[in-house]
């Protein structure tokens, strides 16, 4: 099974096209990081009932590889691995499409496979709105069916995200004080988190 997954990743990565980003909050999107780009992101809980989460993502050959670490209050730690392949690029009329797998070893929140699509809405760019992206997909495994979300970026470096991750509704408000850097407040399944992310590389 592992050999098959590695072969599939290598094959599709040479065939697929590049995307633009990665997740809404927890849910996948149809976009991936470009080759040579990296992203480090974490969310810190305000309650000991939920884990802190740290993600490291890398864009390689039009494929996004991801390592996730979950730190629980009782000292337990889980590390998981995933990948997404950018199957089709976004055009003016059509969304980008990606296929991926989360928690390949099934040692964390649960293995999941999914297909996702993302599309910018050009007509939404007016006044104080810089960008609006919509996302939707279908998953199996720990992603139980349909998931969807939206990212809204304002011209004052403030952003809003909301999603239904197939089980819960999550949202975040984000401030981007420097290029590549953002800090955020998130609600994940009703629990409050503080978050930060940094994009670097190409």
pLDDT confidence of 19, banded at 50, 70, 90?
Answer: very low
Predicted TM-score (pTM) of the model is 0.83
In this prediction, residue 1 carries a pLDDT of 41
What is the set of domains in the chain, with CATH numbers?
2-201 (2.40.160)
Tracing tokens 């910018």 back to the chain, one arrives at 120
- The reported pLDDT for the residue numbered 30 is 94
Tell me the β-bridge partners of 138: 115, 146
Percent of the chain with pLDDT strictly greater than 90: 64
pLDDT tier at 202, thresholds 50, 70, 90: low
Residue 187, pLDDT > 80, answer yes
From CA 62, how far away is CA 104, in angstroms rounded?
19
* Average pLDDT of the chain, as a whole number: 86
Positive or negative, the CA dihedral 91, 144, 140, 188 is positive
113 Cβ partners below 8 Å, 6+ apart?
99, 100, 101, 102, 139, 140, 141, 143
Strand (E) or helix (H) holding 6: helix 2-15
Q: Which of 17-26, 84-93, 100-109 has the lowest mean pLDDT?
A: 17-26
What pLDDT is stored for residue 23 in this prediction? Answer: 86
What's the pLDDT band for 10 if we cut at 50, 70, 90?
very low
Q: Is residue 18's pLDDT more than 90?
A: no
Q: What is the pLDDT of residues 21-49, one digit of tens each?
A: 578 999 999 999 999 999 999 999 877 77
């Amino acid at each position: 099974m592992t050999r098959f997954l590695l072969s599939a990743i290598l094959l599709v990565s040479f065939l697929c096209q590049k995307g633009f980003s990665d997740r809404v909050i927890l849910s996948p999107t149809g976009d991936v990081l470009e080759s040579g780009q990296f992203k480090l992101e974490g969310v810190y809980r305000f309650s000991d009932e939920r884990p802190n989460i740290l993600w490291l993502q890398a864009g390689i050959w039009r494929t996004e590889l991801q390592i996730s670490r979950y730190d629980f209050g009782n000292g337990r730690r889980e590390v998981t691995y995933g990948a997404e392949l950018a199957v089709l690029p976004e055009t003016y009329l059509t969304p980008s499409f990606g296929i991926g797998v989360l928690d390949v070893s099934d040692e964390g929140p649960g293995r999941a496979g999914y297909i996702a699509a993302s599309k910018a809405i050009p007509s939404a760019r007016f006044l104080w709105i810089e960008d609006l992206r919509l996302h939707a997909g279908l998953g199996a495994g720990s992603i139980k069916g349909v998931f969807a979300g939206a990212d809204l970026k304002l011209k004052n470096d403030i952003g809003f995200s909301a999603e239904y991750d197939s089980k819960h509704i999550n949202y975040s408000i984000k401030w981007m004080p420097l290029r590549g850097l953002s800090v955020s407040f998130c609600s994940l399944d009703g629990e409050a988190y503080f978050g930060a992310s940094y994009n670097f590389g190409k």
